[in-house]
Each structure stands twice: as C-alpha cells, then as structure tokens.
Structure 1
Amino acid sequence: MPRKKATAESNDSKSQRTRARILDAAAHTLSVKGYSGTRLTDVAEYAELQAPAIYYYFKSREDLIEEVMFCGISDMRRHLQAELKAQPDDLSPMDRIMVAVESHLRHELELSDYARASIRNARQVPQQLQARQKKEAAAYNRIWRGLINDAVDSGDIRDDLDATMAQALILGALNWTAEWWDPRFSSVDAMVANAQTFVRHGLSPLPQAAKRRAGSPSRN
C-alpha cells in the first residue's frame, strides 16, 4: 500500500509539473505572438511536448489562454501585495506609490511572461475569456486606488489633479512599456528609475514659487 501511494503521489507531481510547463510555454508564446498568433503547436514545441498532450490538461486553446490571462494579473496582484507588506510602516504614501511603480514594471518586464501576456492581450482576448481576469484586475486597481487616496489624504498629491484620472494615466503608461521597451537599449533598472521620477514629479504638489508663476497672467 505505501508503495502504491508513493507512486500515485509521484504521478500527481509529474502531472502538475507538466501542466505548469504547458502554462509557462503558453504564457511565453502569448506574450510574444499575441492572442491571434498563439498556436497550440507553438506552445507544445516550447514545452517540448506533442501538441495532442495539451488536451489532457486543457480542454481547448481558449481554456489554456484564459488560465494564462488570469494568472498574469493574479500573480501581479499578489506580488504587489507582498512588496507593500515588506515595507516599513512609516514609509510615506508617495514612497509606497514608488514601490508599486517598481513592482509593476519589474513583474511586467523581467519576472513574468504571464503578466506581459495578460497586459499585452487584454483587449484581444474575447469577452467570454475575461471574467476571472477582470475580477483580478479590479482587485489590483483597488490596491492602487488605496495608495493614491492615502497620498491625497496626506497632501503628497497636488490638489489640482483628479485622482482617478491620475491612477488611470499611471497604469496606462506602465502597461504600455510592455509594447515598446527593448532590453537591448535600456535596463529594467533605468526604466524603473525614470518611471518613478516621472510619476513622483507628476503627482507631487508644486512649490509655492511655481504655483505663483502658473497662476500669473501670461505676458504678451
């Protein structure tokens, strides 16, 4: 009996590893080729499997892609929560936003094919495959909303900004880097540093002198 149990557990473990390998391959393929260009034959080749083997783990191409899209945003949410939880309690609201900027970019650009696949294909995947992904995206956005609101309450964000629009603009810019960033020409470290500077200065209140200049009438 113990031997049979050990064999069953071993088979389960092997099955789980194979399923994970298929998902990893699908995430990579989807992040590079997009929804319309992702073929199960490409996924199988990257996973070093025969294409029919995929159907043992996923009923269809759509089921496989739906799982990748869900994992992409779900993993990003958990990653951000972990990064924020690791920060000291006295970290300022603006600095917590900087942590979120770095977490988003690093997860998107260097840590996860899943995140890149989810972000790049969010508007390509059919609506019927987006239910779980949208629910996770809403949870991720709520974390950001809390960060932005805390910064507003503390006076870290200028009072002439609409907080909802500011959040949408920040996340839109961060997401778009998956489309144009090229690791051959700049590092992720450089991208993070530039994004943090851009966001911090875009959100921070203007110095009093700058406020006076902005409010003064133009000279003709």
Structure 2
Amino acid sequence: MTDPDSSTAKSNRTRERLLDAAAQVLAEKGFAGTRLSDIAERANVQAPAIYYYYPSREDLIEEVMFVGAAAMRAHLDEVLAGLPSDATPVERISAAVEAHLRHELEISDYAKSIIRNGNQLPEQVSKRALAEITHYNDIWRTLVTELDTAGQLRSGLEPSVARMIVLGALNWAAEWWKPERGSLEDVIRTAQSMVLHSLRP
C-alpha cells in the first residue's frame, strides 16, 4: 500500500524540480524561447508529466515568477531585519545593495529569470509577481526616504528617480557578470561605493 505522505513528498520534490528547471531555462532563453521539453529535460521528467502539475506552460512560468519575486523580497526583508536596531540609513542601503546582488548573482536563478523576462510577460503571467516586486520597491523607497530624512540625500536628487536608477544598475549586473569577470565580492564592494557616493552629498 502506498504511503500518502511519501507520495505527497515525492510530488512536492518533483514540483520543486520543475520550478527550479523552469527558472534556469527562463534565465537562459527568455520567455519566448522557453519550451516545456527543455524544462522537462532539465528536471529529468517526461514532458507530458508537467501537465499533472501545471495546466500550461504559462501557469508554470507564472509560478516561477511569483515564487522568485516573493523569495527576493523575503531575502531583503531578512537581511534588513538582521541589522542592529541602530543601523544607519547608509548601513541599511549598503546591506540592501549586497542582498540584491547576492540574491541575483549567487543565490537564485529565479531572480535572473524575473529580471530578464519581467517586461516580456503577458499580464496574467506577471500579475502576482508584480505585486511582490511592488513590495520590494517599497522597501527600497523606505531606504531612500530614511536617507533623505537623515539629511544625507544629495541636494537636487529626485528620490524616486534615484531609487529606480540604482535598482536598474543593480539589475543589469545579471546581464554582464560572470565569475571569470571578477569576484562577486569586488562587484558588491564597487556597487556599494558607487551607490552611496551617488546618493549622498
């Protein structure tokens, strides 16, 4: 007799493999180039089996985008929550820069798939992910506002524009950085310096 708990655990592992594989293929090939056969091969399952877990290619991609966006926001929340209660606005932004780059370049293929495909997706595929991305942007809005309130935002900067330019630059690292181009630590240190020098007086 089959153990229901064992079957559920196996099903959950397969679902996770499919999501991980889909994130990798999306990051490499983009929305238009992502095929279920590629995902199935990467996940080591038969392509028709995907329909047991997801009704369509779009449903699978929608889940990848949502899970990835939620994880990216949760990672930033966790990093900021782990800072000392008296951390300065500068220290919080510096930590946020590192959290963004580590998650994007080291921790998660999901982050790359979001960054590279966010503007290519139909609304029904991106809706839940966009809600999480909005929450993520709100965290950054708070960080820049804290810097401004502390009198440490450079005069003449429009905070919302500055925030979006910073995030755009950090996101772009997913397009050009590879380990052979230099250490991730160098990228993080340089990005922290450039972001903070551009925002402060």
* Counterpart secondary structure, 2:24: helix
Rg larger in 1 or in 2?
A: 1
Return 5+ residue gaps in structure 2 as ranges: none
Residues 48-83 of structure 1 deviation map (CA, whole Å, 9 limit, x = unaligned) = 111011110000000000111111111000000000
Question: 1:157 maps to what in 2?
Answer: 153
2:33 maps to 1:54: no
Kindly, what percent of the aligned residue pairs are identical?
51
Query: Structure 1 stretch 64-73 or stretch 179-188: which is displaced more?
Result: 179-188
Distance, in Å, in 2 between the alignment partners of 1:139 and 1:70 is 12
Question: 1:215 maps to what in 2?
Answer: none
Question: 1:43 maps to what in 2?
Answer: 39
Question: 2:139 maps to what in 1?
Answer: 143
What's the C-alpha RMSD, in Å, of the aligned pairs?
A: 1.1
The correspondence for 1:117, drawn from 99, 113, 118, is 113
Q: Could you tell me how far 1:118 is from its partner in structure 2? A: 0.8
Residues 75-123 of structure 1 deviation map (CA, whole Å, 9 limit, x = unaligned) = 0000000000000011110110010000000000010001110111011
Distance, in Å, in 1 between the alignment partners of 2:191 and 2:53 is 40
Q: Could you tell me how far 1:190 is from its partner in structure 2? A: 1.0
* Counterpart secondary structure, 2:38: helix
TM-score normalized by the length of structure 1: 0.89
The correspondence for 1:95, drawn from 91, 96, 103, is 91
Which amino acid in structure 2 is aligned with residue 20 of structure 1? E
Aligned residues: 201
Question: 2:102 maps to what in 1?
Answer: 106
TM-score normalized by the length of structure 2: 0.97
Q: 4+ residue runs of structure 1 moved beyond 6 angstroms?
A: none
Q: Could you tell me how far 1:159 is from its partner in structure 2? A: 2.1
Return 5+ residue gaps in structure 1 as ranges: 206-220
Residues 141-185 of structure 1 deviation map (CA, whole Å, 9 limit, x = unaligned) = 110011110110001211221101100100011111111212211
Which amino acid in structure 2 is aligned with residue 166 of structure 1? A
2:172 maps to 1:176: yes
Distance, in Å, in 1 between the alignment partners of 2:194 and 2:110 is 26
Residues 11-63 of structure 1 deviation map (CA, whole Å, 9 limit, x = unaligned) = 10110000000000000110111111111111011111110111100000000
